[in-house]
A and B are shown apart, each in its own frame.
Chain A
């Protein structure tokens, strides 16, 4: 710091007194999140390896012992596994937001003339983009272990799109958790609610083998409808027969759940952000 060059003072340009527009304010937040991910290779490798490992364990270790009527287990499992990918990648968002809050990063952003929703919306958008990558990798591993599509191409693309929609919806749950948790560790801890939510659903095993009280929960929670929607779209008639409803039934429910989750958790997260 030997020579200090003093830049000329400038008033905040023509924008004085105005708030930065939605695209200009969300863009840099998305960029930061993407760069953070791309420049942390251990995150990418670990995440991918972990997903692959669990898929292999279910497919080859538990798979043989699980009876899935009407569908082969691999065709039952992989749609469920892909649809729940969002929940496991989302856990990182809760911890990340809590950390940003703890380290004053959110304070800096809150002191800037940008709309109140843009920081959280940027985060949700960036994480959803990253989710597309995770979903593609998970699907590729699924195909490698013997998963095959039995529906139409449009159905398969629709299934993928639905997974992205769930991911976006659950992202808001994790953002809200991260805003409320108080610390990254606490957020991580609360994030473990993902386990009962995903395991007590039709994601990995048919709910019919669960005890009555548990089945009642499993059959009426969002993951089951979402997973079944993906399953029916990917596997067509066989899945429809095994699950007892047609595609539109599950798709409508899956979308209703997604909309409901966003409607509850996005305002919660933004309200918490506003309050500081």
Chain B
């Protein structure tokens, strides 16, 4: 399996991008050339040169340093929001898929309601209601994201429930809990991993959008979305302030999506046959 993962070009390419950003997030202080909070009004709106590789913003902060520090916030939000929505999604998806009947109908109804809202609009609504901040970002994105997880997990559980080995486990005398933990969840795992990597990308994008609108992390915390937003005013005179963080967002999201697609191709035996 691991060998096959390394043979998949999408996994390799996407994975390397993701790895680079993870390393950057961990080693921020070592990598960033300046203090991201250091205001230097003499050097404001400098175009990229030897001193400042990505230029400076409207109050003279180094754009590259802010991007490097922004990696922490973006990845943290992507990963934590994904984890929260994964836990809720798994819980609701499993009980709905496994037990069926009225529980299934109620959960499915809830999922449908959540999915009927345009995701970002709902997140904006939630963020406005509880006030901007990092915690708001987690909550808004997770509330929007769990329904997708739950729906997918439910489908996988319904398929897994009908497998002969689940019936065999019932015949042995395994309890419902035991069947879910030992027999059903391990067989959903590959799907969950794949969906999670894809979700991280979309959550990073969502974080950027909320921060752009001023509903996410508050200044002076460096986040990519808020950097795009501050540079927006200077798009004609100093385009690097917006474009470089914007490109970074694009690269990270592409990295996670490629990684997720590649994982799906290697985990899904049916797709694997086609690619072989």
Question: Is A bound to B?
Answer: no
